[in-house]
Amino acid sequence: MANVYAVDYAKRFSTVPAKLTNVATQGGRMRVLYDTYTVVTATAQNDVVYFGRLPPDCKVWEVAIQTSATLGSSATIDVGWQAVSATATSANTDLDGWHDGISGETALSFWKVGGASTASGNKGIAIAPTSIPDEADIVATLLGVDPNADVVISLMCHYSID
């Protein structure tokens, strides 16, 4: 029987001299970004809701979105990120990078990795984090129809940077 080592473990503990690993993946602090938005009558189809800003070079581990009630028949939500800098490449923006076309016909609760309601709408459910190279806003795009008013949309993001 042989011992084998994962990538960062090998760098840190079995290579001589030892190399430092990215602190965002080992030993870093997990941070939480949380915000809510209450849909108003003027909110329309294709509107983009900005929930928070991520620092450059962070790793996003989890993104969850929840609504307090139905957004409407044929309503969907995409959740992703948009680079802040005008000089960032288009590859650093993915408006549906975490959730794509989640149905808003009932109150919803979606997680990137696991938990309730993960059968559809999630892109690439995996425990691997999403690396965000540039400062980016977390955005939700309301699609399909004009959303119902007074629905509270909550978003939570877990990320590490240091």
Fold of 25-160: Jelly Rolls (2.60.120)
The residue among 149, 148, 143 whose CA lies nearest residue 75 is: 143
Using DSSP, state whether 68 is helix, strand or coil.
coil
pLDDT of residue 151: 92
Query: What mean pLDDT comes out for the span 24-51?
Result: 89
98, 79 Cβ separation under 8 angstroms: yes
Q: Give the distance, in angstroms, between the CA of residue 104 and the centroid of all CA atoms in the same chain.
A: 18
pLDDT of residue 39: 93
Q: Average model confidence (pLDDT) for the chain?
A: 84
Query: What mean pLDDT comes out for the span 41-55?
Result: 91
Rounded to a whole number, what is the distance in angstroms from the first to the last CA of the chain?
36
State yes or no: pLDDT of 160 exceeds 70.
yes
The residue among 8, 14, 11 whose CA lies nearest residue 129 is: 8
**Per-residue pLDDT tens over the stretch 71-115:** 988 888 999 999 998 776 666 888 988 888 888 888 777 777 654
Query: What mean pLDDT comes out for the span 47-60?
Result: 93
Could you tell me what percent of the chain has a pLDDT over 70?
A: 88
State yes or no: pLDDT of 126 exceeds 70.
no
Residue 10: what are its φ and ψ, rounded to 5°?
Answer: -60, -45
Give the pLDDT band (50/70/90) at residue 32: very high
CA distances to 16, 98, 105, 142 from 122, rounded to whole Å, are 41, 6, 16, 16
Q: CB 149: neighbour CB atoms within 10 A?
A: 12
Give the pLDDT band (50/70/90) at residue 124: low
Maximum pairwise Cα distance, the chain: 65
Which of 7-16, 36-45, 58-67, 74-83 bottoms out in mean pLDDT, i.e. has the lowest? 7-16
In the DSSP assignment, the letter for residue 29 is P
101, 78 Cβ separation under 8 angstroms: yes
